[in-house]
A and B are shown apart, each in its own frame.
Chain A
Amino acid sequence: MPSPPDSEPVGTDAAVVTRGLTRRFGTLTAVDHVDLDIPRNAIYGFLGPNGSGKSTTIRMFCGLLTPSSGTATVLGLQMPDEAEALKHRIGYMTQRFSLYEDLTIRENLDFVARIYCLPAARRNARIGQLLTDYHLEDMAGQRAGTLSGGEKQRLSLAAATLHEPELLFLDEPTSAVDPQSRRDFWENLFRLVDAGTTILVSTHYMDEAERCHRLAILDHGAVRAEGTPQRLMADMAATVVEVQAQDYRQIRAALRALPEVLSVAQIGARLRVLLYREVAAPDDTVRTALAQAGVTAEVGIARPSLEDVFVTATQLPARAREVQP
């Protein structure tokens, strides 16, 4: 595998640097020429639907999968060749609960601590502290299999951070967790970042993505957009028009037929219409179309949300493919 060209500074300030990172499974390209610089000491999000290549990318970062082409440098180490040296410095929370359900919370943590060869004194101190931090003391003797989704997730995070890794990978950590647990979980993540940890989290929840310091929107293995959530919303390649009316069925059909419209989605009692940014007066375009269809409705420009960014980023290339086959 060729090493990255000298012109690109590697491992100086970024936690993870990838250049042309690609992974194919047979004919399927799961990750397609991904170039990323993931900064240290921040929460970096991978936002994308299922099958967009989030997990595959994270696995390549951990050295579990060998890239088909391109490079991934994690904490200055070349993956996957220097993976063993990296294992001490990273924590990995798998998508699925991967601790032992037939062991108790304390036994699980003790096992992980011993696997990382923590000396006895530090081991006990760390386990005690984590049990307190993650509110697990009262159930320390309970088997992991009997825990709720939120408790399992706290235990997983505790186990992944036991050896105080510099870099933490979280693969869809909140998929089986209620909203309150999710809030608490993110509080924990911010606390870890304050302590100097770099966190990479994959998600398909918009509200989670919004909490990240920076994020990359992945779709079909490629990065469609990258930046801070604020920047992404400001730079969005579409304008949002909100429509309020009685009956949306007819409106939806009329708007979907317009070539200027990228997507139409109902959010509560409103219709959110995304139009290409090149359209000069998007609200007027919508008004004219609705008037022609003989429907009366309130129409106005709205502020974009991250979901709009996500829809635009993933819909645009799909539309482009349709137009130019």
Chain B
Amino acid sequence: MRLFAIMRKEVAQLARDRLTFGMIVGIPIMQMILFGYAINTDVRHLHAAVADQARTQLSRQLVADIQATQVVDVTHYVQTGVQLQALLDSGNIAVGIVIPRDFEQRLQQRRKRDGRPAAQLLVDGSDPIVLGTARGLTGLQLQQDTDRHEPPLVPLFEVRNFYNPERRSAVFVVPGLIGVILTMTMAMFTAVAIVRERERGNLEMLINTPVSSLELMIGKVLPFVVIGLVQVTLILLVGMWLFDVPVTGRVTDVYLAALLFIAANLTLGLLISTLAQTQFQAMQMTFFFFLPSVLLSGFMFPFDGMPRAAQVFAELLPLTHFVRLIRGIMLRGAELGMMAGELYALAAFLLVTMGIAVLRFSKRLD
């Protein structure tokens, strides 16, 4: 069987290619650590200063409550709003809390319609994520100040967070990260593997043999399917060990979705290999595809927040569908059958790219 001959050869070469071998293992681990630790959208321990002009028990209670959220660490205590402003300007703090002299009176008035806010929050709004986080504090403050009359043990309403109760971004990021890592490595490995044969002249020898285009392409791609599944396993294990990321749904569903997604990316790699003349070009084309995938798929930014045109474009990217699938399975415990639309979209992408790649790959040189 010619198909097996090509696969055997491919595996033998892979085993000797230390760079690619290192990338198979290195890229997932590096990305996991990058996204899991460094890139963290759930902000904590913002430096804050308090100007407590009321100096009552209630005002001290408020400051204690805010610190208990861990969103802010109170690092400075000052007298006036002007001093807070100076600290903000100098970048020493990101949040300033002003508790006015008539704080308790204002708390009472909060029950009336013409009441005024009880306290003031000064925020360094230059980072929207910090701003968003600090704004979240106002919600807490509201519930707390109306609460004050009633017995303080029972809060008026509590905040409940579904799917990621601890609000840790790793839980949210890791499933999507499987897709991001596969998009990057699978397409690149296959594209480079074929273009390398062209660069080194091996392809001129191969096209003079009876091997068919389809045998050549499938034989080159199949070993990478196994590598892709190894990567998925690696990410799941690292996710569990380092970040306690659970798999709520069925593990088989995770692998089935990943398998389809891997295949879609491998055929994309094949298509790229028919377009690129050099390994460098193949890398460039992979990144050209990788960047919009990461930005528009919903992995980084919420899909619903994107403009309509971007959403339409994002529907064409396999990562968009995979991110939905994998988050559904891993976070919400959804079953594959419930998301058949995403599966069809991936299958369609696979068939179209494979078709174009086979048509474009010619055993002729002209």
- Tell me the A residues contacting B by CB distance below 8 Å: 59, 62-66, 80, 83-84, 87-88, 90, 92, 94, 96-103, 107, 111-112, 114-117, 159
Contact with A along B1-19 (1 / 0, CB 8 A): 1101110110011001100
Complexed CA–CA distance, A295 and B255 (Å):
91
B5 and A111 contact, CB distance less than 8 A? yes
A59 and B365 contact, CB distance less than 8 A? yes
Tell which of B4, B205, B207 touches A114, judged by Cβ atoms closer than 8 Å.
B4
By size class, the interface of chain B is 20 to 34
Complexed CA–CA distance, A24 and B91 (Å):
69
Complexed CA–CA distance, A90 and B363 (Å):
15
Residues of B within 8 A of A84 (CB): 210, 363
Residues of A within 8 A of B8 (CB): 111, 114
B211 interface contact, C-beta 8 A: yes
Residues of B within 8 A of A92 (CB): 205, 208
Tell which of A83, A87, A94, A101 touches B204, judged by Cβ atoms closer than 8 Å.
A94
B150 interface contact, C-beta 8 A: no
Tell me which residues from 1 to 47 in chain B have a Cβ below 8 Å from any Cβ of chain A. 1-2, 4-6, 8-9, 12-13, 16-17
A63-B364, A115-B211 known; A101 and B5 CB under 8 Å? no
- When C-beta atoms are compared, the residue in chain B nearest to A159 turns out to be B205
Residues of A within 8 A of B4 (CB): 114
Complexed CA–CA distance, A114 and B210 (Å):
11
A99-B202, A100-B202 known; A62 and B208 CB under 8 Å? yes
A64-B365, A94-B201 known; A87 and B9 CB under 8 Å? no
Q: What are 22 inter-chain pairs, A to B, with CB distance below 8 A?
A: A59-B365, A64-B363, A64-B364, A64-B365, A64-B366, A65-B364, A66-B366, A80-B364, A83-B364, A84-B363, A87-B208, A97-B201, A98-B204, A99-B202, A99-B205, A100-B13, A101-B200, A103-B9, A103-B12, A107-B12, A115-B2, A115-B209
A83 and B363 contact, CB distance less than 8 A? yes
- When C-beta atoms are compared, the residue in chain B nearest to A80 turns out to be B364
- B45 smallest CB distance to A (angstroms): 51
Complexed CA–CA distance, A102 and B9 (Å):
10
Residues of B within 8 A of A107 (CB): 9, 12
Residues of B within 8 A of A66 (CB): 364, 366
Complexed CA–CA distance, A100 and B13 (Å):
9
Interface hub of A59, A66, A98 (most chain B Cβ within 10 A):
A98
Tell me which residues from 236 to 274 in chain B have a Cβ below 8 Å from any Cβ of chain A. none
Residues of A within 8 A of B209 (CB): 87, 112, 115-116
Tell me which residues from 198 to 245 in chain B have a Cβ below 8 Å from any Cβ of chain A. 200-202, 204-211
B2 and A98 contact, CB distance less than 8 A? no
- B193 smallest CB distance to A (angstroms): 12
Interface hub of B1, B208, B211, B363 (most chain A Cβ within 10 A):
B208
- When C-beta atoms are compared, the residue in chain B nearest to A89 turns out to be B210
Complexed CA–CA distance, A96 and B198 (Å):
12
Complexed CA–CA distance, A107 and B11 (Å):
12
Residues of B within 8 A of A114 (CB): 1-2, 4-5, 8
A102 and B13 contact, CB distance less than 8 A? yes
Complexed CA–CA distance, A167 and B165 (Å):
73
Residues of B within 8 A of A90 (CB): 208
Tell which of A80, A98, A102 touches B201, judged by Cβ atoms closer than 8 Å.
A98
Residues of B within 8 A of A80 (CB): 364
Interface hub of B4, B207, B209 (most chain A Cβ within 10 A):
B209
Complexed CA–CA distance, A33 and B364 (Å):
21
Residues of A within 8 A of B202 (CB): 98-100
Residues of B within 8 A of A87 (CB): 208-210
Complexed CA–CA distance, A84 and B213 (Å):
11
- When C-beta atoms are compared, the residue in chain A nearest to B14 turns out to be A102
Residues of B within 8 A of A96 (CB): 201, 204
B207 and A64 contact, CB distance less than 8 A? yes
Residues of A within 8 A of B207 (CB): 64
Tell which of A63, A98, A111 touches B9, judged by Cβ atoms closer than 8 Å.
A111
Residues of A within 8 A of B366 (CB): 64-66
Residues of A within 8 A of B205 (CB): 92, 94, 98-99, 159
Complexed CA–CA distance, A96 and B209 (Å):
16
- A70 smallest CB distance to B (angstroms): 15
B211 and A64 contact, CB distance less than 8 A? no
- When C-beta atoms are compared, the residue in chain B nearest to A84 turns out to be B210
Residues of A within 8 A of B363 (CB): 64, 83-84
Residues of A within 8 A of B5 (CB): 111, 114-115
B364 and A103 contact, CB distance less than 8 A? no
Complexed CA–CA distance, A112 and B364 (Å):
19
Complexed CA–CA distance, A83 and B4 (Å):
23
Complexed CA–CA distance, A98 and B199 (Å):
10
Complexed CA–CA distance, A27 and B251 (Å):
60
Residues of B within 8 A of A159 (CB): 205
- A247 smallest CB distance to B (angstroms): 48
Complexed CA–CA distance, A90 and B6 (Å):
20
- When C-beta atoms are compared, the residue in chain A nearest to B207 turns out to be A64
- B242 smallest CB distance to A (angstroms): 35
- B217 smallest CB distance to A (angstroms): 14
- B203 smallest CB distance to A (angstroms): 8
Complexed CA–CA distance, A225 and B208 (Å):
29
- A134 smallest CB distance to B (angstroms): 17
With A59-B365, A64-B208, A103-B12 already in contact, 5 other A-B pairs whose C-beta atoms are closer than 8 Å: A64-B363, A84-B363, A94-B201, A94-B205, A98-B204
- When C-beta atoms are compared, the residue in chain B nearest to A85 turns out to be B210
